[in-house]
């Protein structure tokens, strides 16, 4: 199979969908890998490294897309890439279609087979291709949140861990999944007070057992979230419903009652965001004001640490890429129910109910 790896075009997206090690494995399995020139530069990977692994280097996005049977990416196609979509193509990438009606309609119109990393789901309901990026986004959320809390960045001017004689910042993490746990762990490491809010009592018990008395937990309800937010300096929104739009758990009214200069980081922005008023931002211009608070809503947070993220992503995706390339989409999916759950669109039809419901299609 011909596998195309185009350069990512989203703002400050420096990740690439395949490492030279991954290319080497695919080439050894008999496939042809076509990497767009410069695709790996942002992740510290040269064209020559891909050549040494047996990949071919093509000059343009049109060649990477147009000559391939399977295109693997990191981020969803944006408008300038819609022209590359076609019926005989299989696209394997993060899609987040519940938050992107224009892309959904473009994929339907093109007849492309679209498989989303974020909805590949194992029998235990874990999301193996989302987990590594959730881990990175969770850790980064506290890094960018603590930086945004500096007065020079528009925040309250508080230090996460405080100092002798001065109080620590209070961090509230909404959603205790993979990203939420990594956010909580990082915030604890910086010395912050941390409260995790989640709808699952078993998950809250698990977190309390793992971290002992270091963090507090609260069962999720509108009342409890509002009460926690009034004293919060940093809020991390990490709510996830696989394939579906994120619920708006933090309302405009709640934010209006928060401390001046508080910071809210919406990790769920790829799925539409879990704060009322959230809208996607970029690494070039990451924050905006809501009342007296600051929102950080960058939609590709792991793109800021591409040398780590690219390798973590390929480690997770390569077995699935190998299966699709070696067997074709239909056989690979028939043999692996987890991969079958990744199918979002095929033959001009939406195949994931959550996406159809999100757009009334």
Query: Which of the residues 100, 233, 266, 270 is marked catalytic?
Result: 270
**Residue 352: predicted pLDDT:** 95
Separation CA 232–CA 193 (nearest Å): 10
96 classed as catalytic: yes
Query: 240, 177 in Cβ contact below 8 A?
Result: yes
**Average pLDDT, consecutive stretches of 10 residues, N- to C-terminus, the chain (361 residues):** 96 95 98 98 98 98 96 96 97 95 97 97 94 96 97 96 95 96 97 97 95 93 97 95 86 97 96 94 95 96 95 97 96 96 96 94 91
What phi, psi does 221 have (nearest 5°)?
A: -155, 160
CA quadruple 50, 56, 60, 61: dihedral, nearest 10: -80
**Residue 11: predicted pLDDT:** 86
Q: How many Cα atoms occupy the beta-carbon half-sphere of 48 within 13 Å?
A: 0
270 classed as catalytic: yes
Query: 296, 286 in Cβ contact below 8 A?
Result: yes
| Statement: the pTM of the whole predicted model exceeds 0.85 | yes
Separation CA 27–CA 129 (nearest Å): 22
Pairing of the two strands 343-346 and 113-116: antiparallel
Separation CA 273–CA 144 (nearest Å): 17
HEC-encoded secondary structure of the chain: CEEEECCCCCCCCCCCCCCHHHHHHHHHCCCEEEEECCCCHHHCCCHHHHHHCCCEEECCHHHHHHCCCEEECCCCCCHHHHHHCCCCCEEEECCCHHHCHHHHHHHHHHCCEEEEHHHCCCCCCCCCCCHHHHHHHHHHHHHHHHHHCCHHHCCCCCCCCCECCECCCEEEEECCCHHHHHHHHHHHHCCCEEEEEECCHHHHHHHHHHHHHHCEEEECCHHHHHHHHHCCCEEEECCCCCCCCCCCCECHHHHHCCCCCCEEEEHHHHHCCCECCCCCECCCCCEEEECCEEEECECCHHHHCHHHHHHHHHHHHHHHHHHHHHHCHHHHHHHCHHHHCCEEEECCEECCHHHHHHHCC
**Residue 220: predicted pLDDT:** 96
Separation CA 336–CA 224 (nearest Å): 40
CB neighbourhood size of 102 (10 A): 10
**Residue 212: predicted pLDDT:** 85
Query: 333, 339 in Cβ contact below 8 A?
Result: yes
Query: Which of the residues 31, 96, 100, 233 is marked catalytic?
Result: 96
List the structure tokens of 102: 């224009």
- CB burial of residue 59 (10 Å; 0-12, 13-18, 19+): exposed
């Amino acid at each position: 199979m011909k596998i195309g790896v185009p350069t990512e075009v989203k703002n400050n997206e420096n990740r690439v969908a395949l490492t030279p090690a991954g290319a080497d494995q695919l080439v050894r399995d008999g496939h042809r890998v076509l990497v767009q020139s410069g695709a790996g530069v942002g992740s510290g990977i040269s064209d020559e490294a891909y050549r040494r692994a047996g990949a071919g280097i093509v000059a343009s996005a049109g060649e990477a897309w147009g000559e391939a049977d399977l295109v693997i990416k990191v981020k969803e196609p944006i408008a300038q890439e819609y022209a590359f979509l076609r019926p005989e193509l299989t696209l394997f990438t993060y899609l987040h279609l519940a938050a992107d009606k224009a892309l959904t309609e473009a994929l339907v119109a093109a007849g492309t087979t679209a498989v989303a990393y974020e909805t590949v789901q194992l029998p235990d309901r874990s999301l193996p291709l989302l987990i590594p990026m959730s881990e990175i986004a969770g850790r980064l959320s506290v890094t960018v949140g603590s930086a945004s809390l500096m007065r020079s960045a528009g925040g309250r001017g508080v230090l996460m861990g405080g100092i002798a004689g001065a109080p620590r910042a209070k961090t509230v993490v909404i959603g205790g999944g993979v990203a939420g746990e990594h956010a909580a762990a990082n915030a604890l490491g910086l010395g912050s007070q941390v409260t995790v809010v989640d709808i699952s009592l078993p998950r809250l018990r698990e977190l309390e057992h793992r971290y002992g008395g270091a963090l507090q937990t609260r069962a999720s309800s509108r009342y409890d979230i509002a009460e926690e937010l009034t004293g919060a300096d940093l809020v991390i929104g990490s709510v996830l419903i696989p394939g579906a739009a994120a619920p708006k758990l933090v309302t405009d009214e709640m934010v209006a009652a928060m401390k001046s200069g508080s910071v809210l980081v919406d990790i769920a922005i790829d799925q539409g965001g879990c704060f009322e008023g959230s809208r996607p931002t970029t690494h070039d211009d990451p924050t905006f004001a809501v009342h007296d608070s600051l929102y950080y809503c960058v939609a590709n947070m792991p793109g800021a640490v591409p040398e780590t993220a690219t390798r973590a992503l390929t480690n997770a995706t390569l077995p699935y890429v190998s299966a699709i390339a070696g067997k074709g989409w239909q056989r690979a999916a028939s043999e692996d129910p987890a991969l079958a759950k990744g199918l979002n669109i095929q033959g001009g039809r939406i195949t994931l109910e959550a996406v159809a419901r999100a757009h009334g299609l």
